[in-house]
Amino acid sequence: MSAQRSRFPFDRLREKLDDTELRCRQCGYVDSDGGWRVRTSGDRVSYRHVCPSCNAIETRELRL
């Protein structure tokens, strides 16, 4: 489910997030292979990451 390859203006933001260490706030697990799931709705972009260790959900939301 990673077929979204369009050039959205938030691609830069995603790259920035990808550079951020994905560290779970709940258990401290660092998901070095993981990435953010991106979802758009209207003028907002939601990023979501699920911790593979404890399934805690981390979210970021950005306005376009």
- Listed ranges 1-9, 13-21, 33-41, 56-64: which one lies at the site for Zn ion (CB under 5 A): 56-64
**Within the chain, where are the H helices?**
11-19
- Listed ranges 7-15, 24-32, 35-43: which one lies at the site for Zn ion (CB under 5 A): 24-32
Q: Least distance to Zn ion from the beta carbon of 20, Å?
A: 16
Token duo for residue 2 = 């990673």
- 62 has which bridge partners? 45
In this chain, which of 22, 38, 45, 51 binds Zn ion, going by CB under 5 A? 51
10 near Zn ion, judged by CB under 5 A: no
CA angle (23 as vertex; 21, 20 as ends), nearest 5 = 20
